[in-house]
Amino acid sequence: MTPKEALKLLKERDKGTSFSRLTRGLPEEYDHAIDTAIEALERLTPKPPRQKAVSSLSSKDKTIYKGFCPHCKDDNYVYSFHQCCNVCGQAIDWSEHNAEG
């Protein structure tokens, strides 16, 4: 099971599924544990940066993009040579940018 698949299942907790029936009535700390797991799995699921810009950095023939972390919002830059934000650990999906070559 991939993190994305696990995330989908955990998010069904509030949708009247068998999982929501199983988790109903559990002590509150289990709800918090599931919330924490959802948040962690969302960080592992690559998301595109909030905005793209060509960085002033250059690496031979390769364009390096700079954008804002989708989780930290406008507080933190991410660069296309990084797979995740170095502040919050959010995985970044650069495929759209790199495909433009």
Please give the residues from 38 up to 77 whose contact with Zn ion meets the rule CB under 5 A: 69, 71-72
Among 6, 34, 44, 88, indicate the residue that binds Zn ion (CB under 5 A).
Answer: 88
Separation of alpha carbons 67 and 77, rounded Å: 6
Rule CB under 5 A: is residue 92 a binding residue for Zn ion? Answer: no
Among 7, 41, 85, 92, indicate the residue that binds Zn ion (CB under 5 A).
Answer: 85
The footprint of Zn ion on this chain (CB under 5 A) covers a number of residues equal to 7
Rule CB under 5 A: is residue 13 a binding residue for Zn ion? Answer: no
Separation of alpha carbons 101 and 87, rounded Å: 27
Tokens for 86, please give them: 């170095």
**From the CA atom positions of the chain, what is the Rg in Å?**
18
Q: What number of other Cβ atoms are within 10 A of residue 32's Cβ?
A: 10
Residue numbers at the binding site for Zn ion (CB under 5 A): 69, 71-72, 85, 87-88, 90
